[in-house]
A and B are shown apart, each in its own frame.
Chain A
């Protein structure tokens, strides 16, 4: 089955450590996204990538970094510079827009990161 895999489901880290969250998709989608969700809150866009070797900052990119070396993979690194890293992180992908129609986002199951 095609889909998006995020691993691990739960991740615990000590403050001051960088941590990388994995996101892999086999849907052949060009565009990939990282969102952050805090308890009871909406989704805030961290970074997105429209094509391999290219990515753009979202609304809350500070303290995060990404890479897009392969179409299937879009890992997110939460650096020690991120002041409040504890959150639920969601990765998503979709086909690129070709008209006024937007393809729907397909989400992974998310990674819950806890930093103490």
Chain B
């Protein structure tokens, strides 16, 4: 089945430092989605990337899709305590299949 690895598994940063999580797939992806899950909550959709090399920004968050469409990254600039949570990438196989596989996730904790 689809293999989706995220690194690192955990990241502890001082408030104000930057944070990056990486998502790596064993196969070429048609697109990739990113979700955030706050402690005790459910995942919430952040963004979707479709095109090779695509870069999208949401305030302090920058999302990038690799040129080969096998990897992606999420970068947060100047972290804040509200960024705490687990960040997941999620991928689907080829068009026509609704199966959505989540990455292993990166748990971010902020040291005030």
Contacts and interface: CB of A to CB of B under 8 A. Distances in A.
7 contacts: A33-B100, A45-B102, A90-B43, A97-B98, A100-B31, A105-B100, A107-B42
Chain B interface helix/strand/loop/mixed? loop
Contacts of B44: 107
Interface residues of B, number: 27
A6 B1 CA distance: 28
Interface of B: 1, 6, 30-31, 33, 35, 41-45, 48, 50, 88, 90, 92, 95-96, 98-105, 107
Given A42-B105, A102-B92, A104-B33, A56 B45 contact: no
Contacts of A44: 102
B2 to A, nearest CB: 8
